[in-house]
Structure 1
Amino acid sequence: MTVSQEVLTTRPVTSESVKRGPSFLAKAFGITAVLSAAGSGLGLLRDLLLARFFGADEGTDAFLVAWTVPETAAPLLIEDAMTFLMVPAFSLALVLREERSAQRLDGADPVRQLTADTLPWLLGGLCALSGATMLWAPEVVHVLAPGLADPSLAVTCTRITAVSVLPFGLAGYLGAALRAHHRFTAPAAIYVAYNLGILAVLAVLHSVLGVRAAALGVAFGSLLMAGLLIGPFLRALRGGRPARGRAARGGRGLLLSPLALLPVAAFTLTRQSQVFIERALGSDLPVGTISHLNYAAKVSQLAMTTALLICTVTFPLVARALAAGDLAAARDRVEKDLGQAAAVVLVGTAFLIACAHPVVALIFQRGAFGPADTAATAQVIQVYSCGLLAQALIGVMVRPFFSMRPAVRRADDPRLGQAGRWLLDWYPVAAMAIGLVVTTAVGLLSTHRFGALGLAAGNAAGITTTAVLLLRGLALRGIALRMPQVLAAQARLLVAAGGAAVAGTLVARLVRAEALSIAVGGAVVLAVYLALGVLLGAHELTAPLTRGLALARGWRARRSVSGSRSAGEELLEEGTLPDGC
């Protein structure tokens, strides 16, 4: 629950909130979705160039160990922790600004005061964290990948990528402030700038610096990230009037609760620890294993990211229902999100299982990335795919947990003393920790025999365990899902996806050309998935199909009427019809 949502339940609606109607939110989502897709596409191109220039050897393994630093910092400082802390803080500061403006009070602008109180401390902490990572890079590499034969290259790359910690944190802060001001374009474009920076450095310096060029590109891209947001942020700050008359304390009525952020940060780090475990265990396996795991993860997560766009849109609805105490509405929305996210991610899962080999060959197999690398990466993708459903479901379920307790509130909020609810914030962390135990156990037991496939199986088993625990834990939050209906819906979609994967695999193997194999196999997967879903009565598939057919019939009807009018107009212009007609 964001501060702005909480305020709406207890305060009069402000002029600013009235301006932001459904059309504005739809436009903002459209811009965000398009720019996010562009960033993901450039990220895929980045991975393609990494594979082409460096293949999968000890050099790429060293870089990917170093890449763990920005991979950990990005979700913590940009996507999760900073967002949960600073979006509510700036939202409430904007509410206070509007209240002062309505009451014609002089004094310091709350938004500027909040920035002055928080930004210097943030920059100091980020500089210290970045410097510590550079200083202790050998120890970091040893912890992440103790089995590397020669860690010197990984240490060098880690020191370069550690630069990204500062701009990542600054980008997270500025992006949160801009979203609170209802400015979404620049924050959505940061990954476009990031990947363009990496691609530019790779293209120019890969032959000179080798894999160090990739690490330098990460540092340069992160600087572009933060630089993109500085201008819009300064323009947003100018929206407040300068202080006049007596100086008023900008933070009055605003209570920051940093402790409420700890579960978010802990969950993010715990979830990211899956990568640490894979790379630590993979460092003892043959050269290239870590690279195969990385390429497979990047391809597999595209399906999950697409599914999570659904709950990105509907999350405010869940938060608003929870803020109003309407647990039934929140439950209904979460159940729909679980079904819709599963419907999207499972068709992607079926496609990856059926067409993994031609997809990897078409995208990566060139330059130093050979057929053996393609086969190894494709097999890992097929095993990884078994955990994609659980990853998407976790993305849906974790939001109600963290929306129940924002990190900033009004000082007079009567719920501040309810400590029992704070303990529930740690449930996702505990569930993720148990999943990590499963991941580690399966990895240790299977890697000696199955290599990278054992690590991928451990990942899928661990994330599935976490998803099951979160399904149970939603009831503790007061969102008692109707489990028979939820599980029945998931089962129908799983059966449809299983049948589609089998049919798509059989067809894709009959076609040798990669592009044609992907096209034919994908078409078969989609057709069989939809057909089986309809036969099984999967509402998540039948409802969109019904609405789509209705829209198509309406469009054809309107076009028919329009066509008739156009024909009449043409006859009139030719003089065939009298003017009276």
Structure 2
Amino acid sequence: MVGVRARRGRAARRRTGRVRPAPEGRAVTAPRGTAAAPGGPDASGVPEVSASAASASAVEPARERGGFIARAAAVTAALTAAGALAGLVRDQTLAHLFGAGAATDAFLVSWTLPEVAATLLIEDAMALVLVPAFSLALSRRAATAVSATPATERPTGPAAYEDPSAVPDPVRALLAATLPRLLLVLGCLAALLAAGAPLLVDLLAPGLPERGTAVDCTRLTALTVLTFGTAGYFSAALRAHRRFVPPAAIYTAYNVGIVATVCVLHTAWGVRAAAAGVALGGALMVLVQLPAFLRALPVRNASARAESGNHDGLARGEGEKNVPAHPADALSAAGAVVVPVVLFALTRQAQVLVERFLASSLPAGAISHLNYAQKVAQIPMVLSLMLCTVTFPVVARALADGEPERARSRVRRDLTLAALVVLLGAAYVVAYAPQIVELLFQRGAFTAADTAATASVMRVYALGLLGHSLVGALVRPYFSAGRPTWYPAGAMAAGLLVTVVAGALTAGPWGVYGIAAANAAGITLTAGLLLRALDATPDHAPARASRDGHGPVRRARYARSPLPVPVGLGTVLPTLARLLLATAVAATAGWAVAPLCGAALPSAAAGALVVPAVFGVTAFAAGVPEVPQLLSTATRRFRHDR
């Protein structure tokens, strides 16, 4: 009877997540299979993993096993598709009302500011710096809550992951130390750019015919520096807190604001209405996230705790000796990461600046053709990176919790899935570019000649889609550990150099096609350099007992790679080669079928069936492992829904 009761008690404790108090003099060790939190350095300088914070970090794998990532990716995919659709409606509206002439070129020059701001403040720099910072703060919050609570009273499930009772809260302290300063800097920068709009236009497009229009539009779009920065901060904080719906909805709100403003004001303001719409859309990006942000991170509590001066009194476990407790220390650590991240983002966005600078000396409409082709061609890239957007906080949190193997496995899957999605889209773009452009833009002021030119440029851009997607997917692991690394910026600078030299040499004889080809060559080189750095194998030391007896210690050294989570080139290149083969076969089949269907709509619809079918069959025959897995998942889902 006693044995039965003991077994029942152990089963109940496993269900509730409670831990039996350890006898006096014995350490409480983490359950077998649970992840460990980062620890202080041992004699070899390798971080130790203490068992005191293991229960907090164990929640993350449970979330992944429970389908959290799949659900978040599905929601993000739906909202990303909605944003892309709204972006297409925006481009259709601009093409219909303003065509591809000198006025549109002037607006697109002013649109350079929002594009650079989006890269720096939403998509790359802000997220790459703040998601790891908030993930680290959340890890410290969870570890502190666990270490300060008796074992029999520790919460389980999501409460163990995010316990608001810890005082002072490191997450809110980080918020109070960063957000006010950021808003002040961005506000001053926006005012400075608006005042210097004439000089900026001359610098970006010295040969632009409608300079005055471009200056007026630039003064309006300069407001996006403030609004995009605020929206990017909100997005990073919410994603670190596993709130993905509001950040995924920002581009839908942005494009709706542009379309609505253009429809209302285009008669009176002309193309300047589009610039006003950009300014309004930036404000909507902030408003759509504000309620969720205030619920997740109350600003009033953050300010009060930041001013209390008790940051140094935050209790730390053995696994947090190297984590800065004071916001000033956190800012200093983040500052070391900001410079290489910003340099990488600026160098990446400089490709667009180079394109428009070179195209400004070409006939009117060249910038517009490049813009429309790039916007449509990059839709597969945006869709391919949605999974990386969802899993970036997972990778950052895994590294903050001292679990590099979980991060490594996640990055490897993300690379393969991103390549699969973008190459499938590239095959369709190459095969059906004329039909796509005709359906989307050929009406009003956008002529058949514009369609032919844009479609040809789009096919050239498609050659660099894999490079763009890989760069976007690979740069996240580089900065997910929250430590400075200059390698991505160096790789991007090498690619930019190729773009500049090749574009300058080919813009004259080949026009916009040479500029697009230079873009593809530069980004492909960058992707190759980043992939080359993956060729490193982690040197795992076996688990051993810690000196103080507090459970197991796990060590992992990555000596030869700038990546905190090297994957191994031998596991990535064969899969990419098979996917490229499937892309070539699918694009060829689609190109052959396209003329048989006549009009653009039935031809594009037939291609939506032919290209994925041929791509899937070829990839399956070539042995891409993700294809059978995706088919199995889809089959199970279909049977479940029935």
Which interval holds the TM-score relative to the shorter structure?
Answer: 0.7 to 0.9
In structure 1, what is the Cα distance between the partners aligned to 2:499 and 2:304? 59
Q: Check conservation: 2:132, 2:480, Cα contact below 8 A.
A: no
Is 2:121 the counterpart of 1:77? yes
Q: Check conservation: 2:495, 2:523, Cα contact below 8 A.
A: yes
Q: Check conservation: 1:111, 1:250, Cα contact below 8 A.
A: no
What amino acid maps onto 2:279 in structure 1? A
Q: Check conservation: 1:86, 1:173, Cα contact below 8 A.
A: yes
The alpha carbon displacement at 1:542 in A equals: 3.7
Question: Which residue of the partner structure matches residue 33 of structure 1?
Answer: 77
Question: Which residue of the partner structure matches residue 312 of structure 1?
Answer: 389
Question: Which residue of the partner structure matches residue 373 of structure 2?
Answer: 296
For 1:239-258, list aligned pairs within 5 A.
Answer: 248-249=308-309, 251-252=311-312, 253-254=325-326, 255-256=330-331, 257=333, 258=335
Q: For 2:361, what is the secondary structure of its paired residue? A: coil
The alpha carbon displacement at 1:337 in A equals: 3.0
The alpha carbon displacement at 1:301 in A equals: 0.8
Question: Which residue of the partner structure matches residue 437 of structure 2?
Answer: 360
Q: Check conservation: 1:137, 1:155, Cα contact below 8 A.
A: yes
Q: List alignment gaps of at least 5 residues for structure 2.
A: 1-35, 40-47, 150-163, 313-324, 537-560
Moved more, 105-114 or 534-543: 105-114
In structure 1, what is the Cα distance between the partners aligned to 2:304 and 2:476? 41
Q: Check conservation: 2:586, 2:611, Cα contact below 8 A.
A: yes
Q: For 2:460, what is the secondary structure of its paired residue? A: helix
What amino acid maps onto 1:455 in structure 2? I
Question: Which residue of the partner structure matches residue 12 of structure 1?
Answer: 53
In structure 1, what is the Cα distance between the partners aligned to 2:462 and 2:186? 35
Q: For 1:148, what is the secondary structure of its paired residue? A: coil
Moved more, 105-114 or 193-202: 105-114
What amino acid maps onto 2:470 in structure 1? L
Question: Which residue of the partner structure matches residue 267 of structure 2?
Answer: 207
RMSD, matched Cα: 3.2
1:458 maps to which of 509, 513, 518: 518
Question: Which residue of the partner structure matches residue 336 of structure 1?
Answer: 413
Question: Which residue of the partner structure matches residue 398 of structure 1?
Answer: 475
What amino acid maps onto 1:510 in structure 2? L
CA, structure 1 residues 272+105, in 2 after alignment: closer, same or farther (shift >3 Å)? closer
Is 2:368 the counterpart of 1:283? no
Q: Check conservation: 1:108, 1:249, Cα contact below 8 A.
A: no
The alpha carbon displacement at 1:246 in A equals: 13
The alpha carbon displacement at 1:533 in A equals: 2.2
Q: Deviations over 1:191-235 (max 9, x none)?
A: 222111111101101111110000000011111222233333333
In structure 2, what is the Cα distance between the partners aligned to 1:208 and 1:376? 30
1:539 maps to which of 609, 621, 625: 625
Q: Check conservation: 1:106, 1:246, Cα contact below 8 A.
A: no
Q: For 1:368, what is the secondary structure of its paired residue? A: coil
Moved more, 448-457 or 136-145: 136-145
Question: Which residue of the partner structure matches residue 270 of structure 1?
Answer: 347
Task: Tell me the matched-pair count.
Answer: 536
Q: Check conservation: 1:66, 1:161, Cα contact below 8 A.
A: yes
Question: Which residue of the partner structure matches residue 100 of structure 2?
Answer: 56
Q: Check conservation: 1:106, 1:244, Cα contact below 8 A.
A: no
Q: Check conservation: 2:136, 2:397, Cα contact below 8 A.
A: no
Q: Check conservation: 1:106, 1:243, Cα contact below 8 A.
A: no
Is 2:571 the counterpart of 1:491? no
Question: Which residue of the partner structure matches residue 440 of structure 1?
Answer: 500
CA, structure 1 residues 368+6, in 2 after alignment: closer, same or farther (shift >3 Å)? farther
Q: For 1:275, what is the secondary structure of its paired residue? A: helix
Q: Deviations over 1:282-337 (max 9, x none)?
A: 00111001011111111111111121123334445544665576666655544433
CA, structure 1 residues 514+115, in 2 after alignment: closer, same or farther (shift >3 Å)? same
Q: Deviations over 1:442-475 (max 9, x none)?
A: 1111111111110110011001111111111233
Question: Which residue of the partner structure matches residue 425 of structure 2?
Answer: 348
Q: Check conservation: 1:354, 1:505, Cα contact below 8 A.
A: yes
Give the TM-score normalised by structure 1: 0.84
Q: Deviations over 1:353-410 (max 9, x none)?
A: 110001100011111111011000000110000000111111222122111335xxxx
CA, structure 1 residues 322+231, in 2 after alignment: closer, same or farther (shift >3 Å)? closer
- The structure in which a higher percent of residues are helix is 1
In structure 1, what is the Cα distance between the partners aligned to 2:624 and 2:90? 38
In structure 2, what is the Cα distance between the partners aligned to 1:65 and 1:271? 17
Is 2:97 the counterpart of 1:47? no
CA, structure 1 residues 485+512, in 2 after alignment: closer, same or farther (shift >3 Å)? same
Give the TM-score normalised by structure 2: 0.76
In structure 2, what is the Cα distance between the partners aligned to 1:107 and 1:538? 50
Q: List alignment gaps of at least 5 residues for structure 1.
A: 407-421, 560-581
Q: For 1:510, what is the secondary structure of its paired residue? A: helix
CA, structure 1 residues 115+316, in 2 after alignment: closer, same or farther (shift >3 Å)? closer
CA, structure 1 residues 326+449, in 2 after alignment: closer, same or farther (shift >3 Å)? same
In structure 2, what is the Cα distance between the partners aligned to 1:122 and 1:202? 30
Q: Check conservation: 2:37, 2:57, Cα contact below 8 A.
A: no
Q: For 2:443, what is the secondary structure of its paired residue? A: coil
In structure 1, what is the Cα distance between the partners aligned to 2:236 and 2:345? 17
In structure 1, what is the Cα distance between the partners aligned to 2:305 and 2:369? 64
The alpha carbon displacement at 1:240 in A equals: 8.3
Q: For 2:336, what is the secondary structure of its paired residue? A: helix
The alpha carbon displacement at 1:340 in A equals: 2.3
The alpha carbon displacement at 1:106 in A equals: 9.8
CA, structure 1 residues 265+247, in 2 after alignment: closer, same or farther (shift >3 Å)? closer
In structure 2, what is the Cα distance between the partners aligned to 1:61 and 1:225? 25
- Aligned-residue identity in percent: 49
Q: Deviations over 1:537-574 (max 9, x none)?
A: 3333344335545666x56xx96xxxxxxxxxxxxxxx
Question: Which residue of the partner structure matches residue 16 of structure 2?
Answer: none
